[in-house]
Amino acid sequence: MKMFASDLWEKNVMSSDGKFLGTVDNLVCDTKTGKILHILIIPSEELDLDKYRLDSQERVVLPFEKVKSAKDVVVMAPLKE
C-alpha cells in the first residue's frame, strides 16, 4: 500500500496492545534512498518518556520498521525495552 507522508501527520499512534503513545508530528527519511527511517511523535501525557528515545524537541523517536498498520491510526509493533 502506498500513501503520502502527509496522510500520517497528526494521526494517533497506538501500541499493539492498545496503549495511546501520541500523535505523528514528522518523519525522518534517508535523503539518498528516500527510505523512511523514523516516525516522530508528540507523546501523550501518560507516556513514560524514560523508556523512549527523544529528539531535541522532546518528540519520541520510533523506528519506522515497527509500524504494523497505518490506516485510521498508526499501530506500532512491540519495541525492545
Quote the CA–CA distance of 28 and 13 in Å, as a whole number.
Answer: 16
8-56: pLDDT as tens digits: 888 999 999 999 999 999 999 999 998 999 999 999 999 999 999 999 9
Q: Where are the domains of the chain?
A: 5-76
pTM above 0.75, yes or no: yes
- Determine the CATH number of domain 5-76: 2.30.30.240
CB-count exposure of residue 63 (10 Å: 0-12, 13-18, 19+)? middle
Provide the mean pLDDT of the chain: 91
Asked if residue 81 has pLDDT above 60, the reply is no
Mean pLDDT of 57-77: 94
Nearest to 45 by CA among 60, 26, 56: 60
